[in-house]
Structure 1
């Protein structure tokens, strides 16, 4: 996460002062209490504390400084003894051990950094940035990585302009790693094909469901238990109607006139790949009915879609993040500004430490377009 990385960098810079602070504390305490308190344990801890925080040169310099401070204090208070020689020999040995520990930690950090870079490159190859403009829409996206691990995530989004309207997809595949990437790649390819050949939104959803089932049938082990939550949306060619099919996913938000309104489905549907388990509308591949809800995307409004890495982000008390209050204010007609507000807020909520990867996708309809056509029913349902 961009702002999360900034705050993490600031924390690291503050931590680098800890060895110096410990060294100064040992020096001050020794001067205050003279021979009544031994500060050698603090001096001995200084290079060990520096090992995971500072560079190799900084770790060695810290150990040398601890020895010099100790020698100065001994010389200030009394004549050196045989016990002092033993203590300072131990301090030198601890400095050598701290330097070795620093080298090992640096190698591990480099390996992790390389793994993350490879994961990011694969992620971008599978999920390239969407175009900035599609029809009368301005498009923005974010992919925020939970850095606790270097595994590739299963979040995806896509947008296409077709003769049937502008079609959008956001989804979250269960799991991580290369298995999730195969599923992501399969769903993106299926969505691209459906956008070209399916005349209506329910047909697009059915093709995604079929593709997900094929992926599951061809898999084994944990991958055979996969599924994907998704939102498939379609903005009519005349921009008068927004059609949305939600498959077990968080409802999109419509941000307009200082309000953020969740576009909740009238009928819940199971995630892609689990349709055969249900018995309701749109819950089977062979069913003729796929629930589609109708809304309006007014000029200047922004549609925000996101994965559960956002709405399930937790603070230190375990409270989930709520997007609605964050977006319930006036924004300029710019999806980047809206997504930046979400990223900033979730970063503050979690302290910069996401528990899961998160994808955000937003489109803003041009504010200077022609007057909209007749209003579609908010929350209306169309079964196709």
Structure 2
């Protein structure tokens, strides 16, 4: 479905009041004299209330009242008789009710917008703001809150420089609200401490698993978090990666996109007691000017009007900006074109690019 068709489908509620208004006039002109179109005219301000401004809603009611009067007069009927009091009063009353409905819905939309903005601000305050450079890497992150949610989500990302390179993580905690915030804070703190203290990713994942299970016990609810943990050595030439049930990162290089699917799937954090042994650590090369793109499932589970999931691979296969922040902005713009509007779920995105000037050290 093209973007133009999706845009038209989103706008159809705006065209419904005038369509009903015109239909009432046409029916009145063509139908027998005893046919009453006042109910259709009276419905137009009610239909306008959810989509028009207050002035537009009232103007629709006034137009309906005027059209009713004109149609009555054109039929040769006397406007000032008791028989016509009921339909004219009905239009007036429904216009007043539509105005109150319009204000109530506008306040509700504003409250949801304000709450959503607060939730997104809190989420960004919880998440670290990384430097734009870590050793040989240029770094960028983006976060988008769900349009239909007012709760704080569980999407998170983290970076931590170590004596031997850079470690980073992206994860998605199941659930929303304060419980998700506590889980996010707990995993961020554990990742930071483990990155400094432990030499290998296996130990880092073990600490994260232990913390995730403790959080479940403290909250008294079953929860889990999908995650990808990456270790990039100081020269930037390679990546060591652990994927714990998370969407596969994408390695973008010279117009080609490679999904880094784990050879052996691993259970998410918090579910390790169901049968996980030692997590496999996989190694991938990171050529100069290559970009690793990581994201939470709010990206790949976003759908268009036909229910088709978003696939970032075709877009990332095109010519793209070299700077990772510009690349993520372009990707989000393409995602918005696909969905035809805001996202239904939170989405966190992270990108690292190995700079060309590090090629000699790789």
- Could you say whether these structures have the same fold, taking a TM-score greater than 0.5 normalized by the shorter chain as the test? yes
* DSSP 3-state at the match of 2:341: coil
Per-residue deviation at 1:201?
A: 2.1
Contact 2:135 2:165 in 1 (8 A): no
Match of 1:314 among 267, 290, 303: 303
TM-aligned CA distance change 1:78 to 1:309, over 3 Å: same
Superposed structure 1 runs of 4+ greater than 6 Å apart: 7-14
TM-aligned CA distance change 1:339 to 1:34, over 3 Å: farther
TM-aligned CA distance change 1:112 to 1:355, over 3 Å: closer
1:145-203 per-position Cα deviation (integer Å, ceiling 9, x unaligned): 22222111111001122212111100010111110110001101111112222222222
For the residues of structure 2 that align with 1:250 and 1:177, how far apart are their CA atoms?
Answer: 23
Q: Matched residue pairs, number?
A: 357
Contact 2:136 2:234 in 1 (8 A): no
60-69 or 336-345, larger mean C-alpha shift: 336-345
1:20-59 pair list within 5 angstroms: 20-31=18-29, 35=33, 38-59=36-57
* DSSP 3-state at the match of 1:254: strand
- The answer on 1:240 being equivalent to 2:237 is yes
Equivalent residue, structure 2, for 1:323: 312
TM-aligned CA distance change 1:44 to 1:57, over 3 Å: same
With structure 2 as the length reference, what TM-score do the two structures score?
0.89
Per-residue deviation at 1:52?
A: 1.2
1:214-263 per-position Cα deviation (integer Å, ceiling 9, x unaligned): 2122221x3xx111110000110011221111111112110001111011
Equivalent residue, structure 2, for 1:78: 76
Contact 2:44 2:60 in 1 (8 A): yes
Contact 1:307 1:359 in 2 (8 A): yes
* DSSP 3-state at the match of 1:104: helix
For the residues of structure 1 that align with 2:279 and 2:58, how far apart are their CA atoms?
Answer: 67
Contact 1:257 1:329 in 2 (8 A): no
Equivalent residue, structure 2, for 1:251: 248
For the residues of structure 1 that align with 2:192 and 2:49, how far apart are their CA atoms?
Answer: 51
For the residues of structure 1 that align with 2:157 and 2:314, how far apart are their CA atoms?
Answer: 24
Per-residue deviation at 1:372?
A: 5.4
Contact 2:304 2:339 in 1 (8 A): yes
Match of 1:338 among 310, 314, 327: 327
* DSSP 3-state at the match of 2:251: strand
Contact 1:144 1:359 in 2 (8 A): yes
Per-residue deviation at 1:331?
A: 2.2
For the residues of structure 1 that align with 2:255 and 2:66, how far apart are their CA atoms?
Answer: 62
Contact 1:34 1:77 in 2 (8 A): no
Equivalent residue, structure 2, for 1:216: 216
Per-residue deviation at 1:333?
A: 1.6
Per-residue deviation at 1:28?
A: 4.7
Per-residue deviation at 1:79?
A: 2.2
1:177-196 pair list within 5 angstroms: 177-196=177-196
* DSSP 3-state at the match of 1:326: helix
For the residues of structure 1 that align with 2:314 and 2:189, how far apart are their CA atoms?
Answer: 35
1:252-298 per-position Cα deviation (integer Å, ceiling 9, x unaligned): 110001111011222221111111211xxxx24xxxx4311111111
1:30-87 per-position Cα deviation (integer Å, ceiling 9, x unaligned): 4455847543222111111111122333222221221112112222221224322221
- The answer on 1:111 being equivalent to 2:108 is no
- The answer on 1:260 being equivalent to 2:257 is yes
TM-aligned CA distance change 1:85 to 1:342, over 3 Å: same
For the residues of structure 2 that align with 1:157 and 1:39, how far apart are their CA atoms?
Answer: 59
* DSSP 3-state at the match of 1:315: coil
1:333-378 per-position Cα deviation (integer Å, ceiling 9, x unaligned): 22233323432333333332533211111111112333353xxxxx
For the residues of structure 2 that align with 1:21 and 1:152, how far apart are their CA atoms?
Answer: 40
Equivalent residue, structure 2, for 1:379: none
With structure 1 as the length reference, what TM-score do the two structures score?
0.85
